[in-house]
Structure formats: C-alpha cells, structure tokens
Structure 1
Amino acid sequence: MMLDLDSSPWRSLSVRRVHDPAEVEELRIAPADVQRVVVLESGHKRIESGSSGQWRGAEHGPGTVSLTAPGRGTRLRWRATSDEPVVTVQVGIPGRTIGEVAAQLWGRTTLPEMDRLDAADDTTVAVVTALARARASGAPELYAETAAQFLAVHLLTRYGALPPLPAPRPETRRTAVVRSYVTAHLAEPLTLAELAAVADLSPWHFLRVFKAETGSTPMRFVARLRVEAAQHLLRTTARSVTDIAYACGFSSPGHLTAAFGRELQTTPTRYRADVGGHRKK
C-alpha cells in the first residue's frame, strides 16, 4: 500500500489517502481505540469482512463508506472489479473523543458499536474529502478539531441511533467574549479547546452555540479574520507574503494562499497587484 498523506501533524484525528493493491487475500486490522471511517475515493472492488469464521461481503464504488468501532479488530479481503486504481481516504477519530461527545451531549456512558461494511452517506463523504484536501494544504489543528467534533456527532446520530440534538440556547455574551479573544490572539495557533475554555463551555457545546449565534464555525470565523488581516497588510505594507502569512496566524504561506483561494478566489500576490498594494523591494 502507498500513502499520500502523513497523519502526524494533527492531534485531533488522523487522515491518510491510501493506494490499495488490486487484490488482498487477507488483511488483519488490530483493535485500537479509534473510530475508523474509510471512504472509497476511486475504483470499484468486492470487499469482505470476516469475524467468528464467517465472511460478509459488499460491492464498493466511489463514495462508499465503511466504519470500524473503537476496540474492534477486523479481517478484510478484497478484489478490484474495474481497471481504475483503488484509492481510499481513511480517517481515525480517537475513541475518547467519541466517548466524550456521547457523554456530554447525550449522557451516554456506553458507546453504540458503529460498524458498517458499506454505507451511503453523503455527509461523511463530504467531510472526509474536505479533510484530505485540508491536510494537504496545511490547515491548522483548529480545522481538525472542528471536523472531529462534527463527525463524532454525525456518526453517533446516524449510526448510533441517538436522537437529534435540540437547538442550543442563545449564549450571546459567551460568543462575544470569544470573538474578542480571537481578534486579540489572531497570530497565535488557536485551538477549539482553547476557545471553548474562553467561553467556559465544553468543546461540543461551544461548537454548536457558536454556529447558532454567528452562522459560522469557529474555524471559518478565525480563517475569515486572518484573511482580512492579511488583506490589510498586503494593501498597506511592503512585508513579504511569507512574513504576512505567519504574522496573521497561518501555518505556512501555502495555507495563506489556500485560504485566499477559498475566501476570495485569488492569491495573495494577485490581490496585492489588483489593489495596488505595497511590494517588498
């Protein structure tokens, strides 16, 4: 198997893109305290999962989702059924994250076993695909934390048969404090846990409250403010794009460029040229 992504920079979850062999006789996956989420990105294959001497099979095509619960090992075998490369994106959410979300939001002390060999789930596919792109562009820990919380709630609701959550109550004061804090600490590597502590809420409640109050996730809010700060420096100073990226809290110049493309559909260099900003001499 060949890996495109190294999962080490993010602590909140792991993500990797794997080029699988066309045929595998048997792959044993040891139990781990991780909720595994696997999305088939390209190719078609017949896959089988074995336990207790029995095998069950399914046909996988692009967008098929499979899940393995924390603490569960499995045996897999598969065979490609088309000439396309078999590529999967694999996400691992720590079991403690799943457990803490279930306890905080539903008061659950035991976890439902979220195992699926083949599921059709557009939401999970969209999040996993976005995580692979974000990981490749150097997105910060805040992105991974937010995605881990969202995926945990989504998986528990959809596959754990837990009831949908009621709308959170308004927390305008807490949200205002966090917004002021972000503005004052924009150049620092902010995390979801840190912002939740400022709001004096658990991360899972904070994420829901902030989205309900502002219409944006904390990650998108921070990214937007950082882009606005970078725009100001590009217009009014001769500092280099690299210097501006780090001054505004981006993890790299490439991450700044990716954020400009997402928010403004341009690059920092083109933006500076278009607005007649200062250039480093």
Structure 2
Amino acid sequence: METIISSLDAHKHLRATMTACSWRAGWRSLLIRAYEDPAEAEEFVTPATRDHLIVLVTGGSCDVEVRYRNGWQHAHSEPGHIGMTAPGQAATLRWRGNTTHSTLQLHLPGATIERVAREFRRKGPAAPTLPSGLGSSDPLVSQLMLSLSAAFQESAPDLYAQTAGEMLAAHLLVRYGRYGEPHYRNASDGRLRKVEDFMRENLASAVSLEDLAREAGVSRFHLLRLYKKLYGQTPLKRLTFLRMEEAKSLLKDRNETIPTVAARCGYENPSHFATAFRRVVGVTPRSYRR
C-alpha cells in the first residue's frame, strides 16, 4: 500500500526550489505552487497524496521520464505541457535538459473531486478515477492554472480558488474520467444510443446527417433538436469529437503514421484532419504525439 503524505509536504521530496505558494496567501480550497527546477535530476520518488496533482511546464524544456504502477513513461516537456498524478499514486521521476525549467504544480483536493463526482454520479462510474501521465496538452487546464497563479499573487480571495477548483474537477472528470457519457432516460434518448453506436462503428467512413437521422428513425430536424438537448451540440460535431478521441488513442502508437490515423478517423486529407484535431484538442497531431 502506498505511503500517503500531505500535499503541503510534497515540496520536501522534489528536486526544485519553490518560488511562490498559494497556502501562504491564505488559500485553503486548493494548493498551487511555482518552482524552478534544475537542468537535470537523477531518479527520485514523490510519495502519494490524497490530491490530484497537475504539473504545468511554464518555461524551459527537458526530456523527462516518470514511472507509475504500470511502468515508465517518456516525454519531451516544454511550455504548455502538463503531467498528472492521480490521488494515491507515487511517482518515480528523472529528467535531463540543457537549462533550468519552471513549473506550476496544482494539488486539487480529492474531496473536491469526490464532491463534484457525486453531481455526475448518474453519468459516470461509481468512484472517480483520474489518470496519471505526462507530456499532454490541455489548453483549458493550462490557462486555468496560469490564472490561479496570478490570482493568489494578487491576493484574490479563497472563493476564487474554490470556484476554479470545482470547475477544474468537473473538466477533469468529463474529459479524463468517463463522466461525459450521456444518461438515457426515455425512448427518444434510446434512439440516440443507436446513433452513438453507429457513429463509433463508422468513425472511418463518410457519415452524413441523413445517415444518422435514418439510423435514429427520425427527421434530420428532430435529430438536431434531440442532440442539442442532450449534448448541447449538433450530431456532426459530436461525431467529430468521437473521431478526435479515437485519434488521441491511435496517436499513442508510434507505429501508426499520422495519415493512417487520419484515414482511420474518417479524413482522407491529413491536413484537414490536422486542422480539425487542433480545433478540438488545442494542439496539432504531431505535437500531441510528442
């Protein structure tokens, strides 16, 4: 069983110099700190906490390796990249770069995640589970962390942190914790389940609104109304979202070329795929793979 420490003591186990801390500014709803990290660090362990840790690179770059329970992960970290460590997980780290680099580290309380998850309970698993990993990009998380860093240094009240923390927990649960799946309640929604299954089975094929309406057994206009009500978006935008989720999964396999990934996600033209991917995910397919 992992040894659990307080997030307040996490800095004692790092190979970095803390330069700012929200706790000292009176915030208690979440903890965010700024660090300056050396150019290189030999292998060391950061113990588990009860909070979800998010690390945002804000300056410099390095080649970093981290080991969780499922083995080593490798990435080239640069500004805008994030890494996450789930509650209850320790991590073994090492990195190498040419210069020092800076990071923001946010500890989101597990209690906050649990509280928000209860609001999603009918749309997600019984217990919230968030992933550990590094080297990804999430523009919303990055911008929110930068805003929180500026806010506590400008003496914003803890209410700011509390509100931002709940919003961040909701985003993490929906995007990474499988809490974004729809909850079907009636016959009309059951038709959408059929459409969802059809979309997932035909991500590589050309799919029109007419095809989806035919699958649901309703008119195109009625299908648009149903999707707007349940998802807040059109069926084709939902299809694009599902394709990008599939693309993110495929891009993790370096044996898959980007044109092949594009084709498997319904795009004959790789440049059209890259444009759509960047619009939905926030970075290019090549950057996401790195």
Query: TM-score under structure 2 normalisation?
Result: 0.54
Residues 99 and 109, structure 1, Cα contact 8 Å, conserved in 2: no
* 1:4 corresponds to 2:19: yes
Task: Tell me the residue number matched to 2:143.
Answer: 126
Task: Tell me the residue number matched to 2:84.
Answer: 67
Give the alignment of 1:98-177 within 5 angstroms.
98-107=113-122, 108-163=125-180
Residues 5 and 16, structure 1, Cα contact 8 Å, conserved in 2: yes
Between the aligned partners of 2:178 and 2:49, the Cα distance in structure 1 is 23
Between the aligned partners of 1:156 and 1:129, the Cα distance in structure 2 is 20
Aligned-residue CA RMSD in angstroms?
A: 1.9
Q: Name the amino acid aligned to 1:130.
A: S
Task: Tell me the residue number matched to 1:87.
Answer: 102
User: How far 1:153 sits from its partner (Å)?
Assistant: 0.5
User: How far 1:106 sits from its partner (Å)?
Assistant: 2.7
Give the secondary structure class of the aligned counterpart of 2:27: coil
Give the secondary structure class of the aligned counterpart of 2:114: helix
Q: Deviation per CA, 1:116-162, whole angstroms, max 9, x where unpaired?
A: 21211100000000011011111101100011001000111111122
* 1:44 corresponds to 2:52: no
Between the aligned partners of 1:14 and 1:57, the Cα distance in structure 2 is 26
Query: TM-score under structure 1 normalisation?
Result: 0.55
Q: 1:124 to 1:51 in 2, by over 3 A?
A: closer
Task: Tell me the residue number matched to 1:77.
Answer: 94
Task: Tell me the residue number matched to 1:254.
Answer: none
Task: Tell me the residue number matched to 1:30.
Answer: 47
Q: 1:139 to 1:52 in 2, by over 3 A?
A: closer
User: How far 1:53 sits from its partner (Å)?
Assistant: 8.7
Q: Name the amino acid aligned to 1:118.
A: G
Q: Name the amino acid aligned to 2:43.
A: E
Between the aligned partners of 1:89 and 1:44, the Cα distance in structure 2 is 14
Q: 1:161 to 1:92 in 2, by over 3 A?
A: same
Q: Name the amino acid aligned to 2:119.
A: Q
Task: Tell me the residue number matched to 1:17.
Answer: 34
User: How far 1:64 sits from its partner (Å)?
Assistant: 0.1
Between the aligned partners of 2:182 and 2:59, the Cα distance in structure 1 is 34
Q: 1:100 to 1:52 in 2, by over 3 A?
A: closer
Between the aligned partners of 1:128 and 1:138, the Cα distance in structure 2 is 15
Residues 32 and 107, structure 2, Cα contact 8 Å, conserved in 1: yes
- Any stretches of 5+ residues in structure 2 without a counterpart? 1-15, 184-290
Q: Deviation per CA, 1:72-94, whole angstroms, max 9, x where unpaired?
A: 111111111x43x3000010011
User: How far 1:5 sits from its partner (Å)?
Assistant: 1.1
Q: Deviation per CA, 1:207-242, whole angstroms, max 9, x where unpaired?
A: xxxxxxxxxxxxxxxxxxxxxxxxxxxxxxxxxxxx
Q: 1:164 to 1:126 in 2, by over 3 A?
A: farther
- Any stretches of 5+ residues in structure 1 without a counterpart? 167-281
How many residues are paired up? 164
Q: Deviation per CA, 1:2-47, whole angstroms, max 9, x where unpaired?
A: 1121231211100111001111111211111000011000011101
Between the aligned partners of 1:90 and 1:137, the Cα distance in structure 2 is 18
Between the aligned partners of 1:29 and 1:161, the Cα distance in structure 2 is 27
Give the alignment of 1:116-265 within 5 angstroms.
116-163=133-180
